[in-house]
Amino acid sequence: MRKPILAGNWKMNGTNPELPRFFESLVQNLPANWSEDVEVIFALPYTLLQQANVLCKSSPITIASQNINQYESGAYTGEISAAMLKDIGVTTTLIGHSERRQYYAETDESVSEKVRVCLEQGIRPIACVGETKDERESGVTEDVVARQVTAILAGVKDLANLVIAYEPVWAIGTGLTASDEQANQVHSFIRDLVAKKFNDEQAQNLRILYGGSAKPANIDGLLKQEHIDGGLVGGASLKADDFSRMINAAVELYGR
């Protein structure tokens, strides 16, 4: 059985003084041995990564970056490399979030290159795909997702350290959410694409997360879907009480 992931994406929010109380409040609301049933990740702004990693050093919580540059070093002002992340103990990162694609001109090609570099450098990428509202209404969701997933898989030889997140752009920060069935259908489509490029076993082992206004009110239904292996959570991950409720829902569902 695939171990679910709940990954909180704080985006451009949070300061260092908030971190100790946040993690203390989060963990105190979780049952003992919760990490046996769910993996918890926080993708934080660069300024918070080092302190968060120190605070969570003895915890099963994983601290991740929200982006990474595909180059090792050089004249790339404002960017951060794999080596820099590893220097502070960060070995997971988001790649190709829709806001990176929309506001910072990231392309399928740049996302593909970043995924390849991450896997070569020992960084686990959580690679994001998803369609806009216009694309869904035009009936081209599968075409868009297939193009994005194909780019991500280009040059990838081993899926063991890869996570994919399906995040319908029209459901991010809008309050709208794909229905459980809609989300599961796209997740199943992604898994089929992976099986065609690799094999059924690797496709079945790949974890695919749902992102798009995931919150305590809908996480239970999403997690019950066959092909949904957790959530990439935005606003709800900024509130320790909300996110702990989501973790508890995963523990209750997946508890062994």
Q: Give me the residue spans of the domains in the chain.
A: 5-254
The most distant pair of C-alpha atoms in the chain lies apart, rounded to whole Å, by: 50
Q: What is the pLDDT, as a whole number, of residue 178? A: 83
Active site residue 227: no
Distance CA 146, CA 163 (A): 16
- 97 noted as active-site residue: yes
Predicted confidence (pLDDT) at residue 256 exceeds the cutoff of 60: no
Assess contact for 201 and 159: CB atoms under 8 A: no
Question: Which DSSP string do the residues of 233-249 spell out, in sequence order?
Answer: ESGGGGSHHHHHHHHHH
pLDDT, one tens digit per residue, over 63-120 is 999 999 999 999 999 999 999 999 999 999 999 999 999 999 999 999 999 999 999 9
**Tokens at 191, concatenated:** 């898994």
Tell me which of 39, 106, 167, 227 is the catalytic residue: 167
**123 CB contacts (<8 Å, ≥6 apart)?**
68, 82, 85, 86, 90, 91, 92, 93, 117
* pLDDT tens per residue across span 77-90: 999 999 999 999 99
- Please tell me the distance from the alpha carbon of residue 230 to that of residue 38, in angstroms, as a whole number: 9
Which fold would CATH assign to domain 5-254? TIM Barrel (3.20.20)
